[in-house]
Structure 1
Amino acid sequence: MTKSSLTFVGVGPGDPSLLTLSAVEAIKNSTLVAYPVSRKEDVGIAATIASKWITAEKRRLPLLFPMVSDVPTRKLAWKQASEKLASSVAEGEEVVFLCQGDVSLFASASYVLLYIQNNYPHCPIRLIPGVTAISAAAAAGGWPLALQRDQLLVLPTPDDSKNLERIIDEAACCNRVLALMKLGSRWTWVRPLLEKKGLLKESLFAQKIGLSDQQVLKASKVSATTKPYFSLLLVRQGWPEVLP
C-alpha cells in the first residue's frame, strides 16, 4: 500500500493554463484538496485557478488564513491548518495544498511547511513549484527580467518613499532590476517617485496577472490611484552594453 503524503502545489498567478504538468498530476492523484481562504464563505483564489482538476469525488478542505497583521491570529491559523493537513495524511488521505503563485515565494504555504516540518517530522512532504506573478508579468509585457550580469531583487514594496528611493539609487549602481510586490495603495506615492527619478517609461506595471481582468502596461500609463493587493512593478534602470 502506497504511503499517503502531503504535496504543496503552486498553481501560478491566475491562468489555469500556467499550471505545470506536475501540479496537474498531483491534483489528479489526490483524494483531498486543501486550499487557503481569507473568509469561511470564500471559495479561494488557488482553488478557483485549479477548479478544472478538482473533480467531484475529491474531498475539499478550505483552510482559513485571515488577511490580518495581528501575529497571534496568523500563528493560530498556521497551527490549525497544519494540524488539519497532518491529521488528514495520518488518516490515509493523499493531500494536496494549493498555493497561488509559487509555494516558496511570499506564500502562506511556507509557514505551514515550516510548522509541519517542526512538529510532524514523519509526515511525507513534497513541493511543486509554480509560475510566479513576476515571471508571468514579464512574459505578458514582453519584458526581459534579467540579462547577462543583471541582478534581480524581489521584495515587498517598502512602506515609505525614502526607503524605496534608497533602494532605487542602490539598484542603479549595479544593474539591479527591481521586482516590487504587494504594490496596492503604495502606488499613490510610488508613481510620483518614479516620475521624479525619470523611471516611469522604464517600469512595467501589472495587476491581477493571469485573471480575466489583468492589466500589464508601462507605468507611465497608470494613474496614481490605489491598486489591488495583487499588483506589482518591475523597474529597470539600464540595459547591458551587448544587445542585439
Structure 2
Amino acid sequence: MARFYGIGVGPGDPELLTIKAARILESIDVLLLPESQKGNNNIAYEIAAEHINPEAKLISVEFPMVTDTEIINKSGKLAAEVVERYVREGKNTAFITLGDPSVYSTYNYIVKHLSADIEIETVPGITSFCAAAARVNRSLAEGDEILSIIPATSTKRLMEMALDVTHSVVFMKVYNQKDKVLKLLEEYEMEDSSVLVKRCGFEDCSVHYDLKEALSGDKQYLSIVLSRKES
C-alpha cells in the first residue's frame, strides 16, 4: 500500500525546508494543500513549490480559522477521507503544513480520522519559534530552565499557570490577542525582555523590541513573541 506523509515545510524560508521533505515532495503523487479560506494563496505551497512533483495532483482542503473543535474535526475527517481514497489507489499522498506537523497543525486532525491500516510518516520541519530565536540570536532555554509554548488564544488562567513555573516563553497565535499578551508580560515583569518577530523566515520579516508600539500597528497572523524572566 502507498503511504500518507505529513510534511513540515518550515517557517517561510525555502532554504529551511529539510532535504528529506524535498525528496519526498519530488516524487509525491497527490498533495493536499491546507486553506483557511477559499481563494487564498497557500503559503506552505509557495515555500515548497520548486520541490513539488509537477505531475502531482493538487487538492485544496479547507480548515477554517475557528476555535470550534467540532468544525475543525469535521474538516479533518473530510480530508482524511480524501487521503484514504488516494492511498488505497496506490498513490503516495502528502499534506504540507507550515513549521512542524506536531505543533498546532491541522495535520493532526487528519491523522486522528485515518483508518489503522493506513501507513503514515510524519516529516518534521523547523518551527517558527526556533527560526525566530535564530533570527535574533537568542537562546530559548539554558541549563535546567523550563520553556513554555503558549497559544495566546488560551485562557488567561492557563497562561498564568504556565508563566508561574516557566523561565522562558514563546507566545504563538498572538494575532487578535495583543491586549492579553501585553497585560500578562507587564504583570510578570517580562515586557522589557520580550521581542516580537513578524513573518519570520520571509523576506519581509521584521523584529520589534517595543511590543506596545509593534502590536498596536498592523495585525499580522504570523507573529511570535519571545520572552523570558530576568534573573
Aligned partner of 1:44 in structure 2 is 42
Work out whether residues 192 and 224 of structure 1, in 8 Å CA contact, stay in contact via their aligned partners in 2: no
* Change over 3 Å in CA distance of 1:199–1:71 after alignment to 2: closer
* Change over 3 Å in CA distance of 1:170–1:158 after alignment to 2: farther
RMSD: 2.1
Structure 1 residue corresponding to 2:136, chosen from 138, 141, 147: 141
Alignment of 1:8 onto 2:6: yes
Superposed CA offset, 1:126-158 (max 9, x none)? 010000011000000100011111111112125
Amino acid at match of 1:157: A
Shift of 1:220: 4.7
Amino acid at match of 1:229: Y
Superposed CA offset, 1:183-229 (max 9, x none)? 11222342354345442231121121112222223245743416322
Work out whether residues 11 and 50 of structure 1, in 8 Å CA contact, stay in contact via their aligned partners in 2: yes
SS of residue paired to 2:176: helix
What is the 5 A alignment of 1:1-244?
A: 3-116=1-114, 120-157=115-152, 164-165=159-160, 167-171=162-166, 176-195=167-186, 197-220=188-211, 222-225=213-216, 227-238=219-230
Aligned partner of 1:242 in structure 2 is none
Identity of matched residues, %: 29
* Change over 3 Å in CA distance of 1:142–1:162 after alignment to 2: same
Aligned length: 230
Whole-Å Cα distance in 1 between the matches of residues 144 and 137 of structure 2? Answer: 19
* Change over 3 Å in CA distance of 1:162–1:106 after alignment to 2: closer
Which structure 1 segments of 5+ residues have no match? Answer: 240-244
Which structure 2 segments of 5+ residues have no match? Answer: none
Whole-Å Cα distance in 2 between the matches of residues 77 and 121 of structure 1? Answer: 19
Whole-Å Cα distance in 2 between the matches of residues 162 and 127 of structure 1? Answer: 33
Work out whether residues 29 and 53 of structure 2, in 8 Å CA contact, stay in contact via their aligned partners in 1: no
Work out whether residues 189 and 224 of structure 1, in 8 Å CA contact, stay in contact via their aligned partners in 2: no
Work out whether residues 203 and 234 of structure 1, in 8 Å CA contact, stay in contact via their aligned partners in 2: yes
